[in-house]
Amino acid sequence: MNLIDLATLSYRTIICHKLRSILTALGLVIGIAAVVILTSIGRGVHQYILAEFTQFGTNLLAVFPGKTTTMGLSGATISTVRPLTLADAVSLEKLEQVIAAVPLVQGNARIEAGEKQRRANVFGVGPAVPEVWKIKVQQGRFLPSGESSNPRAFAVLGSKLRDELFASDNPLGQRIRIGADRYRVIGVMESKGQMVGFDMDDTIYIPTGKALEMFDRESLMEIDVLYRSDIAAENVEDAVRRLLIARHGREDFTIITQNQMLEAMDSILNILTLAVAGLGGISLLVGSVGILTIMTIAVSERVSEIGLLRAIGATQISIFQIFLAEALMLSLVGGIIGIAVGIGTAQLINWAVPQLPVELAWTYIAAAFCVSILIGMITGVMPAMKAAGLEPLEALRTE
């Protein structure tokens, strides 16, 4: 029996038993649609989080105070926390590979402007924030440079905080109170949006030295370093490490490059996406059981048909091919419909809930389709072997 005749016969058999065929394929449709929808949401969240981490640029590394080292005794660790200073940040900026560095201190304080007040995040930063963090100034200017030792009480508002405190009024030159100190507003930043759930617009920027005094800290929380794009991150990391060891006398700090953070995050998100795909795969497993069950029942119902085919000369191989082809066609149709339903539902979710990131994961979609074909082959083999093994005379007696 050639391929065209086999496909035609399988198609006619499926059409003649519409309800049975629909119930057989329905399990695969639901399973593949579930895989498509869940992996699309997983991939969308994956890309969203990575985009959030890269919105500040890619040529960045961060230096944190303290380093944990493991000693020879089992489980024994020593944590050496030493302060990172403004002088360290200034020294890092002088490295040949470095474009700019931002010393950072973060906290929360009450902001007062006239009769209005609210609590907001306070960033104690250096003047290079617009360049390093890729944030533009919307009004006025950012904190002036060259004031690390004796900074003036200047403040730059996030766009949301400006709206809350001043509404439509011009905030430039206005006096505000942050905690117990008074500051003059010299700028407003453009809207940056959320950063992994953190609202960058509901913030206020002040000089790092002022923030150290306000929050009574001796050490910076971190130093963000922007380096040249034509230099490998490993070379910059080595240069930063050598400089700080020379200044501190030992490696009492931790350096994390953005590539390391992204690789770790990407690995975690890939595992989560794979886990989500596994949940959808359970539905595929249920669909495979359905195909196996209904194809086995079909063999029992069509014993006389099999006997007739054998009596007119059909070989065992032909009978095997007929039933296997039916299972494959059902899985093929179920797979195609499942993918269409999954893609349509994913697009509908993207339209109805734009806050939920959805991106089609074509690798997983292709894998799910291949699995549906494989399921058709595996679940069709046993019924096909049973049908091919029937004796012609015994099969005809069931008529």
What average pLDDT does range 24-36 have in this prediction? 81
**Angle at CA of residue 177, ends 173 and 179, nearest 5°:** 150
Query: Could you give the dihedral angle defined by the CA atoms of residues 157, 53, 259 and 271, in that order, rounded to the nearest 10 degrees?
Result: 160
- Calculate the dihedral angle through the C-alpha atoms of 281, 283, 284, 288, rounding to the nearest 10 degrees: 140
Enter the pTM of the model: 0.64
Q: How confident is the model at residue 323 (pLDDT cuts 50, 70, 90)?
A: confident
Most trustworthy range by pLDDT among 287-291, 318-322, 361-365, 376-380 = 361-365
Query: 94-134: per-residue pLDDT in tens?
Result: 999 899 999 999 999 999 988 888 899 999 999 999 988 88
How long, in residues, is the chain? 399
- For the chain, give the mean pLDDT: 80
* 62 neighbors 372 (Cβ within 8 angstroms): no
Nearest one of 269, 281, 271 to 33, comparing CA atoms:
281
Q: Give tens-digit pLDDT for 357-384.
A: 888 888 888 888 888 788 777 776 776 6
Q: What is the 3-state secondary structure (H, E, C) of 36-67?
A: HHHHHHHHHHHHHHHHHHHCCCCCEEEEEECE
Question: Is the model's pLDDT at 14 over the cut of 80?
Answer: no
225 has which bridge partners? 61, 101
How much is the pLDDT for 53?
Answer: 66
Q: How confident is the model at residue 204 (pLDDT cuts 50, 70, 90)?
A: very high
Interval 181-208 mean pLDDT: 85
